[in-house]
Amino acid sequence: MGHNGRRRIPEATVARLPLYYRSLIDCNERDLATVSSDQLAELAGVNAAKVRKDLSYLGSYGTRGVGYDVEYLLHEISRELGLTQDWPCVIVGAGNLGAALANYRGFGARGFRIVGLVDDASDKVGQTVGELTVEPMHTLANMVNERSISIGIIATPASAAQPVADALISAGIRSVLNFAPAVISVPPNVSVRKVDLATELQILSFYQLRGLTSGPALVVDRPA
Amino acid sequence: MGHNGRRRIPEATVARLPLYYRSLIDCNERDLATVSSDQLAELAGVNAAKVRKDLSYLGSYGTRGVGYDVEYLLHEISRELGLTQDWPCVIVGAGNLGAALANYRGFGARGFRIVGLVDDASDKVGQTVGELTVEPMHTLANMVNERSISIGIIATPASAAQPVADALISAGIRSVLNFAPAVISVPPNVSVRKVDLATELQILSFYQLRGLTSGPALVVDRPA
DNA sequence: TTCACTTCGAGAAAGCATTCACAAGCTCGG
DNA sequence: CCGAGCTTGTGAATGCTTTCTCGAAGTGAA
């Protein structure tokens, strides 16, 4: 089993773990007991070599000649991703997007519960969105503390993104998901991930313009 | 000035062009005539060497000792990204997310107009969302044709994503933006980009769990 | 003009990520 | 128990991205 122990997991691999996680849930629902790297690759839309390399960073969880035990691997990946615990989130910005995210059952299901919705527009405060009530911005620090919030989601216009990020960080948040079309700067102990619709559309238009496609086209696993 | 001409632009660079584009718009609004790679780097949240390398793939648009002409560079990047033309989009799925996206002024502004909203739930069809009326799924092919739609946005539950993708593709769409938490497979002449909230949150939780940060953790600016 | 200073462009080096290729390890039929 | 047939795990090879470095080219002052 090689040597394993505490290896550093490459960023690119981390970014794919959620993909494997989802694929394994599929397998589980179909009552598959084991899955090969080939099958998992097809489900996750990557190639088999990558699956094996990625999973090898977690440890030697497969069995040669057989594949990976679905339940076991699922458990290990959950653990690595921290999905065995709860991650309360706050959304800042109760506009279209913020409200849609607050209602969005689909990631709430997986341990990321939205426990607060904040906006500083006085006409929004007090409104209810799903099961949440919009609270004013100045309650943020208390809220983060009392509800043990660990993730902040920015769903404001671009101009508000930086001040909101600063507020989240000074409230103690160290993980931020930014939907605003703006770069935010944060101290080095804070993680930011961004989701930017305009960017994605622009990338699509770049490739469409020249009749090319982005990414490694499709998964057609060819034995050389 | 090197040799330039028609160079292949690396994927990583393409993914950053929208960032530069946005940063340049900022510059323009602040009436800056020129911008250095250092300044642009700060605005875009990357480092200066990367900015220069990236821009050099487009051509030698800078002036040594001065920097880049904001208007000119803006124009060139617009052209590369295809933002000088219109890209009509259709959204499939008029649930929370689909409706929010349909209303989302912010990417509509930049040439990506939503000209169709489709859902096959009979209770959704006929509803109005913003300026759009929800139309039934079977009108998709006609709609794509008549409204010259070039980009399809999938905002359905995971289970519907693949059939919807198939429908979009057989309607002639070659660029797809997928918000559903599912891998979709497409023929090699179609581009897919995905936006997955659950994935992003899981990546954040991975790093938070071990007190690490994702990405180059760059940027210094300090909040309180 | 010359000098001090600035900034780009791009080759070269370094660092990551992906893919290849195959030995090692497992199962199963006989 | 043995050999055939799978499938993993991983070093090595390849390819892509980022970073380093520095010559070339521009500015403005004297």
Are residues B190 and B95 both part of a single domain?
A: yes
Average pLDDT (A75-104) is: 96
CATH number at residue A27: 1.10.10.10
Q: Is residue B76 part of a domain?
A: yes
Fill in the DSSP letter of residue B147.
T
Q: Is residue B195 part of a domain?
A: yes
- Reported as a single tens digit per residue, the pLDDT across B178-201 is 999 999 999 999 999 999 999 999
Q: Is residue A217 part of a domain?
A: no
Are residues A68 and A113 both part of a single domain?
A: no
Are residues B75 and B116 both part of a single domain?
A: no
Are residues A28 and A64 both part of a single domain?
A: yes
Closest-CA residue to A92 (of A58, A132, A53, A57): A132
CATH number at residue A192: 3.40.50.720
pLDDT for B147: 98
What is the total count of domains within chain A? 2
Are residues A41 and A98 both part of a single domain?
A: no
Are residues A94 and A197 both part of a single domain?
A: yes
Nearest CA in chain B to A95: B100
Q: Is residue B139 part of a domain?
A: yes
Nearest CA in chain A to B94: A100
Where b means 16+ CB within 10 Å and e means fewer, B106-116 reads bbbebbbebbb
Are residues A93 and A197 both part of a single domain?
A: yes
Question: Which chain B residues are within 8 Å of A157, Cβ to Cβ?
Answer: 106
Domain boundary among B20, B52, B81: B81
- Reported as a single tens digit per residue, the pLDDT across A112-164 is 999 999 999 999 999 999 999 999 999 999 999 999 999 999 999 999 999 99
Asked if strand C contacts A45 at the CB level, meaning under 7 A, the answer is no
Closest-CA residue to A25 (of A110, A97, A135): A110
Are residues A41 and A93 both part of a single domain?
A: no
pLDDT for B104: 85
Q: Is residue A220 part of a domain?
A: no
Shortest CA to C1' contact from B67: nucleotide: C7
Side-chain half-sphere of A60: how many Cα atoms within 13 Å?
Answer: 7
- The CA distances from residue B80 to B24, B111, B175, B193, in Å, are 14, 14, 17, 18
Shortest CA to C1' contact from A66: nucleotide: D7
CA gap A157, A215 in Å, rounded? 30
Closest-CA residue to A153 (of A180, A185, A183, A134): A180
Q: Is residue B142 part of a domain?
A: yes
Strands B175-178 and B151-154: parallel
Shortest CA to C1' contact from A50: nucleotide: C18
Average pLDDT (B45-66) is: 97
**Which of A13, A29, A132, A204 is most worth mutating to test chain B (most B CB atoms within 10 A of its CB)?**
A204
Distance of CA A166 to the CA centre of its chain: 21
Domain residues for the domain of B40 are: 11-81
- Joined together, the tokens standing for residue B9 give 């632009």
Q: Is residue A101 part of a domain?
A: yes
Are residues B101 and B24 both part of a single domain?
A: no
Local confidence band at A11 (pLDDT 50, 70, 90 cut-offs): very high
CA of A124 to C1' of C17 (A): 46
Inform me whether the pLDDT recorded for A1 exceeds 50. no
CA gap B206, B201 in Å, rounded? 9
CA of A1 to C1' of C23 (A): 13
Q: Is residue A119 part of a domain?
A: yes
* Region at B163 (left for phi over 0; alpha for psi -120 to 50; beta for the rest): alpha
pLDDT for B105: 76
